[in-house]
Structure formats: structure tokens, C-alpha cells
Structure 1
């Protein structure tokens, strides 16, 4: 009695979305072919978002794992040849494996639509010949598809039309007003988020801090945002199953903020797409002007990569502002029964302070606030705005690199259409290079501008974190000297003024009237 054959159903798809129907179609075709042969399916190798052109069967996540266990099945069933391989070398490797382990390779729909079987259980030159002929056909089809797609996308990008792929953050698809297809335009919701991100970054916040704030607010990352806009469920895909949503990271922010798409440029593989004259093709209205983008890039270039560590946020207004007179170190806010105190923490640094100071926290906050606002509250705030000059050299180097890459790519353009597009790209870059070579270099300049508010106005509308940064930026410092033992008089009247010295910048601020009813506790 013949043993019933065990079949492995293999499914592959290059691009998977929530609307994909091909996996279920492949699954049904494979099941029907197994039933026709009297075989039973023992398992399924489902590889979604996997290209046959870029990965051979042995490197695919699920199929590769099954191929390492050849004793568990007798045949592999694919819907069509291109679901298995798209190159002769991959087919040859799969054929050697099937011959070594005595397997049937079955395609539910072969040439003409009829099932095709390659029986590698016995030495069959005919099967090997058919296998390589079909592999050759699949490889030629893959090359033709690749060239058609490349040419079509290049033509669409040259027209400023959306050619598919991930939409740059800050933009969304809109109907093309000039004809068929789609174009990209600024998305109001994403632009609002981008504007806040850029403000926070230029105000001095680190990319990690901004990313944490976005995650805490539940702001979706670019990939999730596009999924939500398209009516799909956000989150990653793995093995056909959806996982948790992505989170903002400093790396994600850096990628978004450094993209020329913010200037309205259409970007392909990280580079601006150019028209026939070498000018960047525009998506639409830019999110940032050239000067604003240059200012942002200059600021990002100054950021120092930080170690991946999480620091607990502090509510101490005077961290980095309050200093111990005994050792010159920072004073830290610590809890005590009934309140909080600023204390010297020299011992935590492995040092010994000759006169460690301590003072009641709320009193010192009020004392410092009064003196700071008395000194600078009425003073208008300013900011330094850098107007970037223009140096055509970097773009010239980019065009030089693009030209070099295009000249290397010349022989790969086999069709007349491909060579025509190649020549148009060369001419466009040459014209842009000529324009840049004739463009003079301008120098960077800085300008001090008012923000429209005083220090007191800024203080009023910001929280402890921003107020602390304002104090630091102004060079404010309050030095606390160790109190006398006992300190009874201070409990009643407030601290001895000789214990405290407040300075801002290079100027010592005159002492102000002590706050009423807030005398410190001597430590």
C-alpha cells in the first residue's frame, strides 16, 4: 500500500498590506493541488514582505526553516514558479537540494495554467532541463518588471507625481489637479506636529527628550500615522501577524528632521529628485524654507550623541543654580518630614565638604525668584538667529557623485526607453552643475532679535523645567553658606542675609526684602 504523500504549502509575497488577497489565493491553489494528488498538507511556510529577487528560498524566514527539516515532508507546493524563485542560480540551488533529499517540486499553475511537477526523486535530465528553462524565463521576467517599474517611477517623479512608496512625514496624498494619479501636499495635522518638534529642538531639547514627550502624548510615528490615514491598523508586521505600534526614537526624529522633503523636495533613496534642468522636483508647498532648513541642520550638527539612559525628571527649580559655599558643588532638593530642603551632596561625589550647607527648599525658591525677576524681569528677551550663507560646493559634490553613479549604470539600461531616461538624467544633472558653478558663495550671518516678551512674561507662562533653564541661561547663581548651630533667630526672621549671595551674569543683585512667614529650618 502506497504511503500518502506529505506536502508543504509555500506562500510568498513581496509586499504585504491589510488589503492583500494573494496569500489566501495562493493557499487555496496549493490546497486544491494537494487534494488532487491525494497528498495532505502538514504545514505552511508563509513569507510575506519577502522578495524572491533579493532572497533565495534558503534565506527566507519560514521556508528556510522548513528546508532544514527535509525528513518532515515529501513535496513542496507553490502557486507559481515566481513564488519560489526568480533567478536561475536560486533554481539551481533549490534543484540540487531537492535531488539530494529526493523531493517533488510542484507548481499549482505552470505554463499555460496547468499544474507542473518537477520530480527530483530520481535522476531525470528532462526535469532538470525544464527546471532551468523555467528559471531562465522567471529571471527574464523579473528583469523586465524591474526595468518597467524603474522607468515608470522615474517618469512619474520627473512630472512631480506620486510614484508610490512611503509618504514623507508632513505630507499626504491628494488627487493630482493636473490629470491622473496622485500628488503629495502638506498634511495639516502632521505639519502641526512637525512645527512643535522643530520648536522644541531649536529651544535646546534633546532628540531623546522630544521623542519621549511624543510617545507620552500618544503621537503616532510616521509609519503608523500613514497607516491610520489610510484606514489601516497601525503597528509592525511579522510573519503575517500584526504587532505593537512603533515608538518615536532619537533616530526616527533625526531621519525626519534631516530629510530634504521638509523643503518640499521629492526624495528618492535619500536624494532629491531633479527635473530636466537639474532643479529639485517639488512635492508642493514646503514645510520649511531653505534658510529655516539650513538653520535646523546647523543645530542638529551641534548635537552630541548621548548614551541610552533614562534620567528621572526633577522638580527642583534651582538644580545647577544653587551652590554650596563650602565646596562650590551643586545643591540638591531632598525630602524631609513636612517639606523639602536644598542640601550639599559632596559625599555622594566622594568628596568631603568643609562646611556643608542646607536650607529650606521653598524659601530658597522664593528668595531666588524674587531677586531674579527684580534684576531681569523687565528686560526684553532676545534670541540669536543664524542666517545661513550659501555654498554651492556641497550640492556640486552630490551632483558629481550622482553623475559618477549614473555613468556606471549606463550598461544596465538595455531598452531604448531606459537609455533615453538615462540620457535625460545626465543632461539634467549637467545643467544643474553649470548653474551651481556660476552661483557665488555667500557668508553666514547672525542677527540678535527680540522674542516679543520680557523675562517676567516668559517666567509666568512656563513650568519649572523651563524656568530652571532660563535661570541657567541667564547665568543666575545663588550661593548658600552653612548656618550657625541652633539658628533660632533664622527660624523666626528668615536666614541671615550674609548666608546668601545671588548673582546673575557678572552682576551681583542687591538684596531684596525677605519673604514673610517663610523662614528656613536650619539643618
Structure 2
């Protein structure tokens, strides 16, 4: 039986500054040992050069690595954590590649932007080909390093409450800080006006995609186009969509928070770092968020592309399902009918009725009951509930707890503990904050239902019916055939929510006073 010698691995470790936690010797050794295990190699030694600069020494001049390179017969592969642990210049890279080619060694760099780089110098590749591969890989590493440095710098600026640059959140514009370097954010009056109107409309029940169409029709620039104009660039004519409306109207940036990757940036005490003055208070913010969630509920979705006046109003009395407007009798008649089967449900006795009859009767009932009454809108104030932010903090704390095992050094664990302490302190502060009770405010529009009905289109009238709580139940036909020439009122019933009648209330007040 032929026996194959196990691959022998040398792990090379280099550190320029002993205080650099991010490239600690332990981290480099762990990466090297992991690669040795991956290729099934036996570790024969460690070349550990600490406080040694790669820009001032070549691999051959380093105390420990230089000694190992002069004894090439003792190992088959050299493993570095990353390319910059081995070389920092093209000349040193070329010399190392020529040496490895001459001695038929395998070189592995465990980590980099392109993943692990495994170079087998015993292959037919020429030194020039190897250098090209190394250069390409090194370029990826440098790009990643630049990205990491930029991300780190931006994170530092965010933690200081300074704007790190880029496209500002909609509603804000960057300006120089007073008496301090860098930029900060202040409300942008034009964008704030758009946001305030969007929030009013959303709370009033308007659908985000409808608001997007209105913004497009009015020529309001999208957030990206708005920023292009701010920077003196020509806008590209982007269009608003419903998701953009929801995003800008419910973004935590409206509270003045610095937000990174969807989460508020927090200071050393766990409090959100402010990027600028809040555009809305927490109460209004939660009110808008609640309205968006309510609009997204399936039972609240309203079609805008239909002429069905009674969609969401007319229901089958048998199964309580919605009735839909469609053509029957080969298109000769338009009816409202129960479509339970189309929605995966069953109905033992489906109801249907001519659309014009049912609509005319419903409108007459609605205007008779409510036509002269004033229209009021109920604005719901959810109050202040520390719960949402507490949930955010607890989610961040839970995720942070899962990261503890990654930190091996004392410095790293200290940094981890500082963040954990800050999040826990903020959680305790929120837990001790009493919530403010939710309340409802009734606002009079100054118009009656009849006046609004006369000026509204089909969609607006349908909205009036639904908001007023109008509901029509239609029973199945009792007839035995034959031609039906008018609506059978015994098959329909109309109901509407309770509404205040000022005249009646005044009369009742007078009666009460006289009886006292």
C-alpha cells in the first residue's frame, strides 16, 4: 500500500503595532489553523514577527519568517491570514512568488475580499501569471479595506451626531455645524411641507399608492430628484410609488434619529443619536405608523380602479361575504352578486341583485339618514408608548448578545460590554417611562354628508359610505322565476353607524333643562 506524506504547513504571523486589536496574533493564528485543517495539513511551526513593519522589511528580512524561508525543506505550504500580513509592495510580492516557484511551495492567504487565495507554485503557472492573480486579489482587498475605513469613519461621525455625507433622509438638508467642523441636518421646508400633508392624508385613510399618483400629477420631485436639485444637478424625472410614500412617512429619521441599516444609531447610554431637529413628535409618528398598518390590513384595502359604488358596502346576507359588481346575462345586465366560490369559500344561497336598483336604493337610504348631518372625522391619538422603542432596543440587545463569542481580546470584550451596558441602560429608562393614554378627537369638517356627496366622484362617494359605517345586506331571491321589474325591498336591509345630530342633541338638551 502506497503511503502519502501529510502536507506540512507553516503559519506566518506579522503585526506592526502590538496595540492593533483588529489584526491580533491570535486572530491570525486562528485563521491559519483553520486553513491548515481545511487542506488536511500538519502544522510544523509558527513564524511570528511582532512589531515588524511590512513596508520596512521584506519577508526574507523578518526575524522568524526569514529563518523559515532559509529552510524550505521543512514545510510544503505557508499560510498567512491576509495578503498584507505577507507583503506591502509589488517588488516584495514578486520576490516571494519567485522564491515559492523555485522551491515549489504552496502559498495560502486565508481571507480577503475575494475569499481564500490558494496559490500552488508547483503548477505550470509562470511567475507573471501568479503576479497578475495576486494583483487582482490585492486590488479587491484594498477596495474592501477602503470600504471598511470609510464605514468606520462614517460610524464615528454618526456617533458624534455629525452627518457623514451622502443622500440625506427626506425632509432634511445638510448645513455646516455652528462653531464646529462637519455637517449637521436641519429640516428642509419644501420636503417637510410634503411630508406633513402626506401624514395628514394617511391618517385620514388615503392609500399610499393614491398619494403617489397625486404627487406625480402635481410634479412633486421624488426624494432622489429633490436631492439632485439640492446639489445643482438636473433631476431624472423619477416617479413616486406607494412604497416610497410609506417609507418616507414612517422613517425613524422623522424623529431626528441618525439611522444606519434601518436601525437608530445609539450613544454610550443607549439613547438614539440625533442627526437634526425632529420633524414630528413620537405621538404623531406612532399615529402615522398605526394608520399605515391599518391601511395594509386586507379588510381595509380599497380598490381605486373600480366603478362599483357599493364595493365593501354590499354583503350577501347568507354568508356575510362581500358582493361584487359584474356583468350577467351575456353582458346585458350588471349586477352585484356573491362571489364566495371565487374567494375559496362556500355559500349555500348566494344573493345577487341588479346594480342600478341596489345603488339607487342604498343612496336614497344613506342620504335620508345622514344627508343633513355634519361630517366629522375621528382622529386617533395613540399617545406615547415607550413599547416600540423598547422592542427596538431589546432586539438590538438580543442581537448584540449573540456577538459576544466573536470577541477574543480584552479590548474587544470591553467594547462589547460598553455597548451592552448602554443598551441595557436605555431599556431600563424606557421601562420606567409611563405611557400616555391614547385618545380620540372628533373634528368637524363644516360640511354635511349631502354636500360632500354632491361634490364627490364614485370613489369619493364609496369612501363616504364606508367611513360612515354604511352596510347593505342582500338576501337571495325568493321568486320562482318570471320577469322581475323592480327591487324587492324585503330582500335588502340598510344599517349605518351611530352619528351625532346637533339639532336633535340641542332639542334633547332643552327638554332635559325643562324637566329639571
Question: Structure 1: how far apart are the matches of 2:134 and 2:491?
Answer: 93
Partner residue of 2:223? 222
Partner residue of 2:161? 160
Question: Structure 2: how far apart are the matches of 1:440 and 1:169?
Answer: 32
Partner residue of 2:441? 449
Equivalent residue runs for 1:129-148 within 5 Å: 130-131=131-132, 134=135, 138=139, 141-142=142-143, 144-148=145-149
For residues 102-125 of structure 1, give each alpha carbon's deviation from its aligned partner in whole angstroms, at most 9, with x where no partner exists.
xxxxxxxxxxxxxxxxxxxx9533
For residues 237-282 of structure 1, give each alpha carbon's deviation from its aligned partner in whole angstroms, at most 9, with x where no partner exists.
xxxxxxxx54444443444344311211011121211223332111
Question: Matched residue of 2:380: which SS?
Answer: strand
Partners of 1:91 and 1:132 within 8 A in 2: no
RMSD: 5.2
Aligned counterpart in structure 1 of residue 381 of structure 2, from 377, 380, 385: 385
Partner residue of 1:198? 199
Partners of 1:88 and 1:135 within 8 A in 2: no
Question: Matched residue of 2:174: which SS?
Answer: strand
Partner residue of 2:462? 468
Question: Structure 2: how far apart are the matches of 1:138 and 1:324?
Answer: 68
How many equivalent pairs are there? 374
Question: Structure 1: how far apart are the matches of 2:498 and 2:408?
Answer: 68
Question: Structure 2: how far apart are the matches of 1:399 and 1:324?
Answer: 48
Question: Structure 1: how far apart are the matches of 2:288 and 2:217?
Answer: 24
Larger Rg, first or second structure (1 or 2): 2
Q: Does 1:286 align with 2:278?
A: yes
Q: Does 1:314 align with 2:306?
A: yes
Partner residue of 1:373? 370
Q: Does 1:434 align with 2:425?
A: yes
Deviation at 1:170, TM superposition (A): 1.9
Partners of 2:284 and 2:381 within 8 A in 1: no
Question: Structure 2: how far apart are the matches of 1:326 and 1:147?
Answer: 64
> Structure 2: which 5+ residue stretches go unaligned?
1-110, 502-516
Deviation at 1:473, TM superposition (A): 3.0
Equivalent residue runs for 1:67-466 within 5 Å: 124-125=126-127, 127-128=128-129, 130-131=131-132, 134=135, 138=139, 141-142=142-143, 144-235=145-236, 246-302=238-294, 304=296, 313-315=305-307, 317-321=309-313, 330=323, 332=325, 343-345=335-337, 356-357=353-354, 359=356, 364=361, 367-368=364-365, 370-374=367-371, 377-378=373-374, 380-391=376-387, 393-401=390-398, 403-404=400-401, 407=404, 410=407, 427=418, 430-438=421-429, 439-440=431-432, 442=434, 445-453=437-445, 455-456=448-449, 463-466=457-460
Question: Structure 1: how far apart are the matches of 2:222 and 2:382?
Answer: 30
Question: Structure 2: how far apart are the matches of 1:137 and 1:344?
Answer: 69
> Structure 1: which 5+ residue stretches go unaligned?
1-85, 101-121, 236-244, 414-418, 510-523
Deviation at 1:156, TM superposition (A): 1.5
TM-score, length-scaled by structure 1: 0.55
Question: Structure 2: how far apart are the matches of 1:254 and 1:446?
Answer: 23
TM-score, length-scaled by structure 2: 0.55
Deviation at 1:377, TM superposition (A): 0.8
Deviation at 1:395, TM superposition (A): 3.6
Question: Structure 2: how far apart are the matches of 1:408 and 1:198?
Answer: 44
Deviation at 1:371, TM superposition (A): 0.8
Question: Matched residue of 1:177: which SS?
Answer: coil
Question: Matched residue of 1:445: which SS?
Answer: coil
The change in CA–CA distance for 1:429 and 1:463 in structure 2 (over 3 A counts) is farther
